[in-house]
Structure 1
Protein backbone atom coordinates (compact mmCIF):
# COMPACT_ATOMS: atom_id res chain seq x y z
CA UNK A 1 0.00 0.00 0.00
CA UNK A 2 2.83 2.30 0.81
CA UNK A 3 4.28 1.78 -2.66
CA UNK A 4 0.95 2.79 -4.27
CA UNK A 5 0.82 6.00 -2.20
CA UNK A 6 4.41 6.78 -3.12
CA UNK A 7 3.64 6.18 -6.80
CA UNK A 8 0.52 8.40 -6.65
CA UNK A 9 2.48 11.18 -4.90
CA UNK A 10 5.24 10.87 -7.51
CA UNK A 11 2.75 11.06 -10.40
CA UNK A 12 0.89 14.03 -8.84
CA UNK A 13 4.21 15.78 -8.17
CA UNK A 14 5.35 15.21 -11.73
CA UNK A 15 2.05 16.50 -13.15
CA UNK A 16 2.10 19.51 -10.85
CA UNK A 17 5.72 20.25 -11.81
CA UNK A 18 4.92 19.92 -15.50
CA UNK A 19 1.88 22.20 -15.13
CA UNK A 20 3.84 24.88 -13.28
CA UNK A 21 6.70 24.67 -15.80
CA UNK A 22 4.25 25.00 -18.69
CA UNK A 23 2.61 28.03 -17.05
CA UNK A 24 5.91 29.86 -16.57
CA UNK A 25 7.22 28.93 -20.03
CA UNK A 26 4.03 30.22 -21.60
CA UNK A 27 4.33 33.50 -19.71
CA UNK A 28 7.95 33.85 -20.80
CA UNK A 29 7.04 33.11 -24.43
CA UNK A 30 4.26 35.72 -24.37
CA UNK A 31 6.61 38.27 -22.79
CA UNK A 32 9.24 37.47 -25.44
CA UNK A 33 6.69 37.90 -28.26
CA UNK A 34 5.48 41.19 -26.78
CA UNK A 35 9.04 42.54 -26.60
CA UNK A 36 9.72 41.48 -30.20
CA UNK A 37 6.46 43.06 -31.36
CA UNK A 38 7.26 46.30 -29.50
CA UNK A 39 10.76 46.44 -31.00
CA UNK A 40 9.40 45.82 -34.50
CA UNK A 41 6.85 48.62 -34.06
CA UNK A 42 9.60 50.91 -32.75
CA UNK A 43 11.69 50.23 -35.85
CA UNK A 44 8.68 50.79 -38.13
CA UNK A 45 8.01 54.11 -36.42
CA UNK A 46 11.62 55.19 -36.86
CA UNK A 47 11.48 54.27 -40.55
CA UNK A 48 8.13 55.99 -41.10
CA UNK A 49 9.08 59.18 -39.26
CA UNK A 50 12.42 59.41 -41.12
CA UNK A 51 10.70 58.81 -44.45
CA UNK A 52 8.14 61.52 -43.68
CA UNK A 53 10.80 64.08 -42.74
CA UNK A 54 12.86 63.19 -45.80
CA UNK A 55 9.99 63.41 -48.26
CA UNK A 56 8.92 66.72 -46.73
CA UNK A 57 12.39 68.09 -47.31
CA UNK A 58 12.25 66.93 -50.92
CA UNK A 59 8.75 68.36 -51.45
CA UNK A 60 9.87 71.62 -49.85
CA UNK A 61 12.93 71.74 -52.14
CA UNK A 62 10.78 71.30 -55.27
CA UNK A 63 8.30 73.96 -54.14
CA UNK A 64 11.06 76.48 -53.46
CA UNK A 65 12.73 75.73 -56.79
CA UNK A 66 9.45 76.16 -58.63
CA UNK A 67 8.73 79.40 -56.74
CA UNK A 68 12.01 80.84 -58.00
CA UNK A 69 11.24 79.64 -61.53
CA UNK A 70 7.82 81.31 -61.45
CA UNK A 71 8.84 84.53 -59.70
CA UNK A 72 12.30 85.22 -61.06
CA UNK A 73 11.97 87.14 -64.33
CA UNK A 74 15.19 85.62 -65.68
CA UNK A 75 13.91 82.04 -65.21
CA UNK A 76 10.27 82.27 -66.29
CA UNK A 77 10.86 80.06 -69.31
CA UNK A 78 12.08 77.19 -67.10
CA UNK A 79 8.60 76.30 -65.83
CA UNK A 80 7.81 73.09 -67.59
CA UNK A 81 5.43 70.16 -67.46
CA UNK A 82 8.31 68.12 -66.03
CA UNK A 83 8.77 70.54 -63.15
CA UNK A 84 5.05 70.54 -62.41
CA UNK A 85 5.06 66.73 -62.59
CA UNK A 86 7.94 66.62 -60.11
CA UNK A 87 5.95 68.85 -57.78
CA UNK A 88 2.94 66.53 -58.01
CA UNK A 89 5.08 63.44 -57.45
CA UNK A 90 6.81 64.87 -54.40
CA UNK A 91 3.50 66.04 -52.98
CA UNK A 92 2.08 62.55 -53.48
CA UNK A 93 5.16 61.03 -51.82
CA UNK A 94 4.80 63.45 -48.88
CA UNK A 95 1.15 62.47 -48.43
CA UNK A 96 2.00 58.79 -48.61
CA UNK A 97 4.79 59.21 -46.04
CA UNK A 98 2.43 61.17 -43.81
CA UNK A 99 -0.16 58.41 -43.94
CA UNK A 100 2.48 55.81 -43.13
CA UNK A 101 3.70 57.85 -40.14
CA UNK A 102 0.13 58.24 -38.95
CA UNK A 103 -0.56 54.50 -39.30
CA UNK A 104 2.31 53.50 -37.04
CA UNK A 105 1.70 56.22 -34.48
CA UNK A 106 -0.63 55.78 -31.56
CA UNK A 107 -0.16 59.40 -30.51
CA UNK A 108 -2.79 61.95 -31.57
CA UNK A 109 -0.25 64.75 -31.19
CA UNK A 110 2.05 63.15 -33.79
CA UNK A 111 -0.87 62.70 -36.18
CA UNK A 112 -1.82 66.38 -35.83
CA UNK A 113 1.80 67.42 -36.16
CA UNK A 114 2.18 65.54 -39.47
CA UNK A 115 -0.99 67.16 -40.86
CA UNK A 116 0.07 70.67 -39.85
CA UNK A 117 3.60 70.19 -41.13
CA UNK A 118 2.46 69.06 -44.56
CA UNK A 119 0.01 71.97 -44.76
CA UNK A 120 2.73 74.46 -43.83
CA UNK A 121 5.17 73.11 -46.42
CA UNK A 122 2.41 73.17 -49.07
CA UNK A 123 1.88 76.88 -48.34
CA UNK A 124 5.23 77.52 -50.02
CA UNK A 125 3.39 77.00 -53.31
CA UNK A 126 1.05 79.92 -52.66
CA UNK A 127 3.52 82.54 -51.41
CA UNK A 128 3.74 85.66 -53.57
CA UNK A 129 6.41 87.71 -51.84
CA UNK A 130 10.15 86.95 -51.52
CA UNK A 131 10.25 88.03 -47.85
CA UNK A 132 7.26 85.82 -47.07
CA UNK A 133 9.00 82.94 -48.86
CA UNK A 134 12.16 83.47 -46.83
CA UNK A 135 10.20 83.49 -43.58
CA UNK A 136 8.17 80.41 -44.50
CA UNK A 137 11.26 78.53 -45.65
CA UNK A 138 12.95 79.18 -42.31
CA UNK A 139 9.81 78.25 -40.37
CA UNK A 140 9.19 75.00 -42.24
CA UNK A 141 12.86 74.02 -41.92
CA UNK A 142 12.59 74.51 -38.16
CA UNK A 143 9.23 72.70 -38.00
CA UNK A 144 10.76 69.65 -39.67
CA UNK A 145 13.61 69.70 -37.15
CA UNK A 146 11.09 70.08 -34.32
CA UNK A 147 9.13 67.11 -35.69
CA UNK A 148 12.25 64.93 -35.67
CA UNK A 149 13.02 66.01 -32.10
CA UNK A 150 9.44 65.35 -30.96
CA UNK A 151 9.18 61.88 -32.46
CA UNK A 152 12.69 60.86 -31.45
CA UNK A 153 11.63 61.05 -27.80
CA UNK A 154 8.78 58.64 -28.56
CA UNK A 155 10.94 55.96 -30.14
CA UNK A 156 13.69 55.74 -27.55
Structure 2
Protein backbone atom coordinates (compact mmCIF):
# COMPACT_ATOMS: atom_id res chain seq x y z
CA UNK A 1 0.00 0.00 0.00
CA UNK A 2 2.83 2.36 0.84
CA UNK A 3 4.52 1.67 -2.48
CA UNK A 4 1.30 2.38 -4.39
CA UNK A 5 0.80 5.62 -2.50
CA UNK A 6 4.42 6.63 -3.09
CA UNK A 7 4.11 5.85 -6.81
CA UNK A 8 0.84 7.76 -7.05
CA UNK A 9 2.37 10.83 -5.37
CA UNK A 10 5.37 10.63 -7.74
CA UNK A 11 3.16 10.41 -10.83
CA UNK A 12 0.93 13.26 -9.67
CA UNK A 13 3.98 15.37 -8.84
CA UNK A 14 5.49 14.69 -12.26
CA UNK A 15 2.26 15.58 -14.05
CA UNK A 16 1.80 18.71 -11.96
CA UNK A 17 5.38 19.79 -12.61
CA UNK A 18 5.02 19.22 -16.35
CA UNK A 19 1.73 21.15 -16.47
CA UNK A 20 3.13 24.09 -14.51
CA UNK A 21 6.28 24.12 -16.65
CA UNK A 22 4.14 24.20 -19.78
CA UNK A 23 1.99 27.05 -18.46
CA UNK A 24 4.99 29.16 -17.46
CA UNK A 25 6.77 28.50 -20.76
CA UNK A 26 3.67 29.40 -22.76
CA UNK A 27 3.18 32.61 -20.80
CA UNK A 28 6.82 33.55 -21.35
CA UNK A 29 6.55 32.81 -25.09
CA UNK A 30 3.42 34.93 -25.49
CA UNK A 31 5.10 37.82 -23.67
CA UNK A 32 8.22 37.48 -25.83
CA UNK A 33 6.12 37.49 -29.01
CA UNK A 34 4.29 40.63 -27.88
CA UNK A 35 7.53 42.39 -27.08
CA UNK A 36 9.08 41.32 -30.40
CA UNK A 37 6.07 42.66 -32.34
CA UNK A 38 6.22 46.02 -30.56
CA UNK A 39 9.99 46.22 -31.06
CA UNK A 40 9.72 45.36 -34.76
CA UNK A 41 7.19 48.14 -35.27
CA UNK A 42 9.28 50.64 -33.28
CA UNK A 43 12.36 49.79 -35.33
CA UNK A 44 10.40 50.10 -38.58
CA UNK A 45 9.14 53.55 -37.54
CA UNK A 46 12.67 54.66 -36.69
CA UNK A 47 13.68 53.70 -40.23
CA UNK A 48 10.65 55.52 -41.66
CA UNK A 49 11.60 58.72 -39.82
CA UNK A 50 15.15 58.56 -41.15
CA UNK A 51 14.00 57.83 -44.70
CA UNK A 52 11.47 60.67 -44.62
CA UNK A 53 14.20 63.10 -43.57
CA UNK A 54 16.37 61.83 -46.41
CA UNK A 55 13.46 62.25 -48.83
CA UNK A 56 12.99 65.88 -47.69
CA UNK A 57 16.70 66.71 -48.07
CA UNK A 58 17.01 65.14 -51.52
CA UNK A 59 13.87 67.02 -52.66
CA UNK A 60 15.35 70.34 -51.57
CA UNK A 61 18.59 69.59 -53.42
CA UNK A 62 17.18 68.43 -56.75
CA UNK A 63 13.55 67.29 -57.07
CA UNK A 64 14.27 65.83 -60.53
CA UNK A 65 17.46 63.98 -59.55
CA UNK A 66 18.04 60.27 -59.15
CA UNK A 67 18.90 60.68 -55.47
CA UNK A 68 15.48 62.22 -54.88
CA UNK A 69 13.71 59.38 -56.70
CA UNK A 70 15.73 56.80 -54.78
CA UNK A 71 14.93 58.48 -51.46
CA UNK A 72 11.24 58.65 -52.38
CA UNK A 73 11.14 54.96 -53.33
CA UNK A 74 12.96 54.03 -50.13
CA UNK A 75 10.50 56.11 -48.11
CA UNK A 76 7.59 54.26 -49.68
CA UNK A 77 9.26 50.90 -49.15
CA UNK A 78 9.92 51.54 -45.48
CA UNK A 79 6.36 52.72 -44.92
CA UNK A 80 5.30 49.35 -46.35
CA UNK A 81 7.59 47.59 -43.89
CA UNK A 82 6.02 49.59 -41.05
CA UNK A 83 2.52 48.63 -42.27
CA UNK A 84 3.59 44.98 -42.19
CA UNK A 85 4.83 45.48 -38.64
CA UNK A 86 1.38 46.80 -37.71
CA UNK A 87 0.03 43.44 -38.87
CA UNK A 88 2.30 41.78 -36.32
CA UNK A 89 1.02 44.13 -33.64
CA UNK A 90 -2.56 43.32 -34.60
CA UNK A 91 -1.85 39.62 -34.28
CA UNK A 92 0.14 39.69 -31.04
CA UNK A 93 -1.20 42.82 -29.28
CA UNK A 94 -4.76 43.37 -30.54
CA UNK A 95 -5.37 46.29 -28.18
CA UNK A 96 -7.48 48.99 -29.91
CA UNK A 97 -5.74 51.87 -28.11
CA UNK A 98 -2.27 50.57 -29.00
CA UNK A 99 -3.25 49.99 -32.64
CA UNK A 100 -4.71 53.50 -32.83
CA UNK A 101 -1.41 54.87 -31.50
CA UNK A 102 0.48 52.79 -34.07
CA UNK A 103 -1.64 54.22 -36.90
CA UNK A 104 -1.14 57.78 -35.62
CA UNK A 105 2.59 57.15 -35.32
CA UNK A 106 2.82 55.84 -38.88
CA UNK A 107 0.88 58.85 -40.15
CA UNK A 108 3.05 61.32 -38.19
CA UNK A 109 6.30 59.76 -39.35
CA UNK A 110 5.16 59.35 -42.97
CA UNK A 111 4.47 63.04 -43.44
CA UNK A 112 7.90 64.29 -42.41
CA UNK A 113 9.02 64.66 -46.05
CA UNK A 114 6.19 67.18 -46.60
CA UNK A 115 7.92 69.77 -44.43
CA UNK A 116 8.00 73.25 -45.93
CA UNK A 117 11.31 74.38 -44.41
CA UNK A 118 14.02 73.15 -42.01
CA UNK A 119 12.11 74.39 -38.95
CA UNK A 120 9.00 72.52 -40.05
CA UNK A 121 11.17 69.45 -40.67
CA UNK A 122 12.55 69.64 -37.14
CA UNK A 123 9.07 70.10 -35.68
CA UNK A 124 7.62 67.16 -37.64
CA UNK A 125 10.57 64.97 -36.70
CA UNK A 126 10.31 65.88 -33.01
CA UNK A 127 6.56 65.19 -33.07
CA UNK A 128 7.10 61.76 -34.64
CA UNK A 129 9.84 60.89 -32.13
CA UNK A 130 7.67 61.98 -29.20
CA UNK A 131 4.78 59.90 -30.54
CA UNK A 132 7.21 56.97 -30.87
CA UNK A 133 8.30 57.36 -27.23
CA UNK A 134 4.67 57.39 -26.11
CA UNK A 135 3.95 54.29 -28.19
CA UNK A 136 6.94 52.44 -26.71
CA UNK A 137 5.86 53.28 -23.17
CA UNK A 138 2.31 52.08 -23.84
CA UNK A 139 3.48 48.93 -25.62
CA UNK A 140 5.89 48.09 -22.79
CA UNK A 141 3.00 48.03 -20.34
CA UNK A 142 0.64 46.09 -22.61
CA UNK A 143 3.23 43.52 -23.69
CA UNK A 144 3.73 42.21 -20.15
User: Relative contact order (C-alpha < 8 Å, sep 6+): which is higher?
Assistant: 2
Alignment match, 2:89: 101
Aligned length: 142
- 5+ unaligned residues in a row in structure 1: which ranges? 1-9
Summarize the Cα distance change of 1:146–1:36 in structure 2 as closer, same or farther, 3 Å threshold: same
Other structure's SS at 1:79 match: helix
Per-residue deviation, residues 99-118 of structure 1 (Å, max 9, x unmatched)? 11221114332222212211
The partner residue of 1:63 within 22, 29, 52 is: 52
- 5+ unaligned residues in a row in structure 2: which ranges? none
CA distance in 2, matches of 1:98, 1:139: 20
1:102–1:114 Cα contact (<8 Å) kept: no
Say if 2:107 is the partner of 1:119.
yes
The partner residue of 2:21 within 32, 48, 60 is: 32
How far 1:18 sits from its partner (Å)? Answer: 5.2
Alignment match, 1:4: none
CA RMSD of aligned residues (A): 2.5
How far 1:41 sits from its partner (Å)? Answer: 1.5
Alignment of 1:1-156 (within 5 A): 10=1, 14=4, 22-70=11-59, 72=60, 74-76=61-63, 77=65, 78-80=67-69, 82-156=70-144
1:102–1:110 Cα contact (<8 Å) kept: no
Per-residue deviation, residues 72-96 of structure 1 (Å, max 9, x unmatched)? 2x4433422x323212221111111
Normalising by the residue count of structure 1, what TM-score does the alignment of the two structures yield? 0.75
2:58–2:71 Cα contact (<8 Å) kept: no
